[in-house]
Structure 1
Amino acid sequence: MVRCSLRLFQKASKTTQNQKWISSLLPVCKTPDQAKQELRWIQMELPQDKWDQAIQERSKFIPLQYILGSQPFGSLDIKCRPQVLIPRWETEEWTLKIINKLRGISSLKILDVCTGTGCIPLLMGHSLPHLQIKAMDISSDALELSNENKKIHGITNVEFKYGNVFDKGLLEGEEFDLITSNPPYISELDYLNGETEESVLQNEPKLALVGGLEFYDALVNNVVLPSKATGFFFELGDLEQALYTQSLLNKDWCTKIYKDGADKIRCVYGWKKGSKMQVLEFI
């Protein structure tokens, strides 16, 4: 008989089971390290009796955020569920940079368009409780979830409402200082030609993903200019979208292209010369 303690046997059994789970996760994860990390998150955030089901779901390309039910975003844990776009680290990164630049401004009205889970305005509202923030989306699923996230975190200075960015009367005369947006910006071609991850294709809403220059045209002409905003910050997918947005603005505006932490073009942003939104210049 092999000399083996119960503790050693249990450890060996756990290691074997973990290896089986990692093998199940490998087809959907890019690397073994990513599979191990996802397994750690599942084991940390779910009760043990849910691990098998979670791994089975993940192996079928269901996004981990939908399985765990949330995604960290700055200091908030944002609730996630199907039919609403999952917040990304790239969006979190530029949102935090804006927040840091706005801390010294005592009075400001912000509008976030295509808000999804509400992650951008909620993190701003949580971090800058003295500011007035509104957010819009065309999706009823997104608005329902964003309001749930607002309630979960007890944020009182953010208001969510229905809004279609292509509606020329969207703002009904209301004015804002800063406009933010993470609109749909993936081209139909890139969406279908293998550039988009399988889990995204199968589960996240195409409505929140696929779009192009028409969104940036609408953001400028239906939101930025009618609102008399003096600053904006838009996420995007390529240089063409950035240059197009810049071309829509007159000489009163200064604009820049922002690269994310992976050195990829991620946003176009701008401010009116001499306005309080000139703080964006130093992002």
Structure 2
Amino acid sequence: MTLKQYKDLFLATLVPVVDAGEAERFFYITLEELAGWRRMDYLMHPEAKITATDELRWKAVLNSLEQQQPIQYIFGKAHFYGLEFKVNEDTLIPRPETEELVEWIIHENNKRPAFNVLDIGTGSGCIPITLAKHITQAAVTTIDVSANALAVAKENAQANEVSVNFILTDILQASTLPQQYEVIVSNPPYVRNLEKAEIKPNVLQYEPHLALFVEDSDPLIFYRKIAHLALDYLTPGGKLYFEINQYLGAETVTLLEEIGFTNVILRKDLFGNDRMISCTL
């Protein structure tokens, strides 16, 4: 088969699952991963043949995509804030909304003198590694409850040539933090079980539920716990940053104000959803 025929096959197979633009994007990602070709290479040589051996690999990818497996898991990597991260079923796939949170933190803190940052719930390590890469004077520590996720994050720190301190801890069971910090950030689990109907199958079936979901009866459990710890472990004037559930912005603001934080700022993401909060001790 030619590349043009495979592109047509991708569209025919995947459009019932995703929209045509996404199906085309999957084709070009696969083209680059399996053939090392860019879009321009394809446009110049659409009739190039795929070898029989490569056809098996193309078919395997297409079958996985048809089953709605995320393409980041198929190829084992994702891109975040200009960096590449290894990902697998033990880690969430980094998202554009989280890039916006990281941009906010970098913008507000990159001129600080040497300071300490704590990230809680590292997953692939995209937040702490990106902060360490772009705020070189920051000493970055990160915590996660999953040993498997921490192993992936450690690989990503090494691959991106940054130093991050990794700690295996269940933050909900923690009574202390390792030291004082000028900045604490977390993108904790925040999707309520009642919202599962809104979650796309590629997320619901493949991404780790441990990192996604909280009980409907107490959806702010992580925010409350982290904020109370931050009262004792943020330096005076220190900043706390969260990614949040878009439906619980007002509730999260109220929680943080009641706990004792000031200058609580709620921000929307590029999609217009309440998505991130900063506050000051």
Match of 2:33 in 1: 45
1:207 aligns with 2:210: yes
Task: Give distance in 1, aligned partners of 2:240 and 2:61.
Answer: 40
Alignment of 1:61-100 (within 5 A): 61-100=68-107
Question: Taking structure 1 as the reference length, what is the TM-score of the superposition?
Answer: 0.85
1:265 aligns with 2:253: no
Match of 1:279 in 2: none
Aligned match for 2:239, one of 231, 235, 251: 231
Moved runs in structure 1, 4+ residues, more than 3 A? none
Aligned pair count? Answer: 254
1:169 aligns with 2:175: yes
CA-atom RMSD in angstroms:
1.7
Task: Give distance in 2, aligned partners of 1:87 and 1:248.
Answer: 31
What are the ranges of 5 or more consecutive residues in structure 1 without an aligned counterpart?
1-9, 273-283
- Please list the CA deviations of residues 88-123 of structure 1 after superposition, one character each: whole Å capped at 9, or x if unmatched: 111012202211222211211000001111100000
Q: Retained in 2: the 8 A contact 1:84–1:117?
A: yes
Aligned match for 2:189, one of 184, 187, 194: 184
TM-aligned CA deviation for residue 140 of structure 1 = 1.1
Q: Retained in 1: the 8 A contact 2:253–2:264?
A: no
What are the ranges of 5 or more consecutive residues in structure 2 without an aligned counterpart?
36-49
Question: Which structure is higher in strand share?
Answer: 2
Moved more, 15-24 or 67-76: 15-24
- Please list the CA deviations of residues 21-50 of structure 1 after superposition, one character each: whole Å capped at 9, or x if unmatched: 212222332x11111111111111233623
Task: Give distance in 1, aligned partners of 2:59 and 2:29.
Answer: 13
Task: Give distance in 1, aligned partners of 2:188 and 2:180.
Answer: 20
TM-aligned CA deviation for residue 164 of structure 1 = 1.4
TM-aligned CA deviation for residue 20 of structure 1 = 1.2
Alignment of 1:19-168 (within 5 A): 19-29=8-18, 31-47=19-35, 49=54, 50-156=57-163, 158-168=164-174
